[in-house]
Structures are given as C-alpha cells and as structure tokens.
Amino acid sequence: MDFTPLNDQEIRELNLYPEGRYRFRVLRTEQKRSKSGQEYFNLRMNILVNNKERTLFDMLFFEGKMIFKTKHFCEITGMEDKYNNGKLMPFECDGKEGWLELGQRVNQQTGELQNNVKDYVTEEEAEEALAIPPSDDFLNDEIPSFT
C-alpha cells in the first residue's frame, strides 16, 4: 500500500483544530501559580468542532497584559460583577458556557504549532463570524449547543 509518510510535527499538526469561533463549556478550573509566582486559573473545557466535543485548555491571568481575556471571559459568562469586584473563585468558572476565538501559534519552548484561545467573544460576535449568506435552500439556522 502506498502512503505519504509524515514526521512527528506533521502528525501533531493534524490534530489541531481550525482557527475560528467555537462554543465552549468549562469542565474544570484549577488555581495554579507560575514559576514567577503569578497566580492564574487553568481551564479545562470542551469546544464544539464540527458538532463534536473536543477538549481544550486555557489560562486566565489576573494581572499583566493578558488580563483582557479574564475580563472578556467574565463578561460573556455573566460574571462581570465578580471581575469588577476583583474576586473570582475557580469553582465559579466551572460549567460556564460561551464563545471563544481559537487561533494557532508556535509554542516558544517546543517550536510546535498549537491551538490557543485568542479571546472570549460575545454570541453576537460569534454569529457574525459564522454568518452564512441566505439562500433558497438555507433551512437550518440553529447555532450548535451542548446537550
């Protein structure tokens, strides 16, 4: 049988999810501390890719330039008051749902291409990105959800 051999990096890249906006649900949140002493939340979540649930991880930081993702996460999951009060516990993130923008970037330590959450977006922003021009045979305009 003939086939095209792939190296390890090409095989890993086959498992990447396409860039785009996806519905997510947080499965578990753990509070951690980086080597530099900065506390953050590690989110384990499912996203819907082609109507199949896939696991994805992200981190929410509470200081520095990445705090914008924490702010947007709280806004789209109904926890804006917790963000504004500066008090958020890991368990409060569990089960939260919304939309995120997924990208791909090179891991600075390994040099491998990997998925990353660019930001958390509103449902309206996600719908704009998913918009399909209407046609006569366009019947299904439902947005996928977790069931």
Domains observed in the chain: 8-127 (2.40.50)
Average the pLDDT over each of 36-45, 68-77, 79-88, 134-143 and give the range with the smallest value. Answer: 134-143
- DSSP H or E run through 98: strand 97-106
* 79 contacts 98 by C-beta, under 8 angstroms: no
Structural tokens at position 39: 């506390």
* 32 contacts 42 by C-beta, under 8 angstroms: yes
pLDDT in tens, 49-106: 888 899 999 999 999 999 999 999 999 999 999 999 999 999 999 999 999 999 999 8
pTM of the model: 0.79
pLDDT of amino acid 142? 52
Q: Tell me the Cα Rg of the chain.
A: 18
Look at residues 9, 41, 4, 26 and name the one whose alpha carbon lies nearest to residue 107.
9
pLDDT in tens, 2-25: 888 888 777 777 778 899 999 999
